[in-house]
Amino acid sequence: MENSPLSQRFTSRFVAGQTLKEGVRVLEALARERILGTLDFLGENVSSLEDAAHSKGAYLAAQADIEKANLPATVSIKLTQFGLDFSETVCCSNVAALLDRAREMNSKVEIDMESTAYTDRTLRIVTDFQENYFGHLRAVIQAYLFRSEADIRMLSSRRIPVRLCKGAYREPPNLAFARKQDVDANYLKLMKLLLQEGTYPAIASHDESIIRQAVEFVREQRISPDRFEFQMLYGIRRDLQRELVSQGYTLRLYVPYGDAWYPYFMRRLAERPANLLFLAKNLVRS
Ligand SMILES: Cc1cc2nc3c(=O)[nH]c(=O)nc-3n(C[C@H](O)[C@H](O)[C@H](O)COP(=O)(O)OP(=O)(O)OC[C@H]3O[C@@H](n4cnc5c(N)ncnc54)[C@H](O)[C@@H]3O)c2cc1C
């Protein structure tokens, strides 16, 4: 699937392209619309430390291009892409190379959250890094997990910025809310906690009701728009993206590029049944 020449046609809605150049081109177009970006070199659960070193190289090249083009962009990474399944030590040394560059560029490395098999290790690694790289990393918390309120309090006490998302993996009922309304209610509760007590949180959602309630809450509480940002995925709810920017809020888009698009694309399809129709139409056209 990933190598098929037809694939670009149906992935192009969610993926900037196969190359770094295409990813940077999207960031430049966004910057012209006053939208920030975070670049994601697609890939996760690499199958060797050699592949992990390749991910590190790809991300260092991405940071170099971001700096060269003077773009207001961060990078987003997955620890399994940096070798976490094989060696935590090697993984951390790979990530440290990116954090060193982020510090030089006065930027950030955003550490995505994967399935619950990795939650403890990811949070431990993030908190260990905080000591040396204060201000240059961001953690991610998933509102569907029961543990998330405690994790947010722990991260906030260390002044680690958090991106709050709903969560994109299939988790068992003893760890995560199964019903959408429970996930949404927990998201709202955690969002308010972060806006009041967190350090520059990122509200990452395309849920219109959640976004409206975030806007209402910050107005009510007189929380200044420079104390948080909204984040969305490239290609999703462009109408809402433009609306937030026109209202003066900071918005950052998650921009994936690369040829290892399959798991990312499948998560986007699974989130919304209507996307299957979109895929089917493109396959027929192909
Ligand atoms: C910037 C960013 C970073 C993220 N990082 C992580 C991470 O590190 N770990 C993780 O587990 N998850 C991550 N996610 C994914 C997140 O957990 C959700 O799976 C995803 O954002 C959908 O949730 P939602 O809040 O948009 O709400 P939903 O209730 O799923 O969707 C609300 C509305 O948004 C629109 N929408 C949502 N998804 C789609 C889609 N795929 N296609 C078309 N329309 C859609 C629809 O209009 C839908 O009605 C991230 C999301 C964002 C925005």
Ordered per-residue pLDDT tens for the chain, 286 residues:
667 766 676 688 889 999 999 999 999 999 999 999 999 999 888 999 999 999 999 999 999 999 999 999 999 999 999 999 999 999 999 999 999 999 999 999 999 999 999 999 999 999 999 999 999 999 999 999 999 999 999 999 999 999 999 999 999 999 999 999 999 999 999 999 999 999 999 999 999 999 999 999 999 999 999 999 999 999 999 999 999 999 999 999 999 999 888 888 888 888 887 777 767 776 666 5
Q: At what angle do helices 208-220 and 180-197 cross, to 10 degrees?
A: 30
Total-model pTM: 0.95
Single out the residue of 265, 230, 266 nearest to residue 251, CA to CA.
Answer: 230
CA of 254 to the centre of ligand 1 (A): 11
Q: How far is the CA of 204 from the centre of ligand 1 (A)?
A: 8
**How far lies 37's CA from each of 122, 140, 230, in Å?**
23, 16, 11
- Which one of the listed residues 40, 85, 112, 207 is annotated catalytic? 112
User: How far, in Å, from the CA of 136 to the mean position of ligand 1?
Assistant: 24
Q: Cβ atoms within 10 A of the Cβ of 4, count?
A: 11
Tokens read off for 81: 């892409």
Per-residue pLDDT at 263: 86
Q: Which two tokens stand for residue 170?
A: 């299939």
> Which DSSP symbol is given to 85?
T
Q: From the candidates 101, 163, 252, 268, give the one annotated as an active-site residue.
A: 163
Residue 250 CA to residue 38 CA, distance in Å, equals 13
Burial pattern 156-178, b for ≥16 Cβ within 10 A else e, equals: beeebbbbbbbbbeebeeeebbe
Task: Return d(Cα 69, Cα 13) in angstroms, integer.
Answer: 24
Ligand 1 binding pocket includes 115 (Cβ within 6 Å): no
Residue 157 DSSP class: H
Alpha helices per DSSP H over 158-285: 180-197, 208-220, 238-246, 262-271, 274-285
Q: Does 163 qualify as catalytic in the annotation?
A: yes
229 pocket-lining for ligand 1 (C-beta < 6 Å): no
Q: Is 101 near ligand 1, meaning CB less than 6 Å away?
A: no
Q: Does residue 85 carry a catalytic annotation?
A: no
Instruction: Of 159, 157, 161, 119, give the one whose Cα is nearest residue 139.
Output: 161
Residue 119: predicted pLDDT = 98
Determine whether the shortest distance from the Cβ of 205 to ligand 1 is under 6 A.
yes
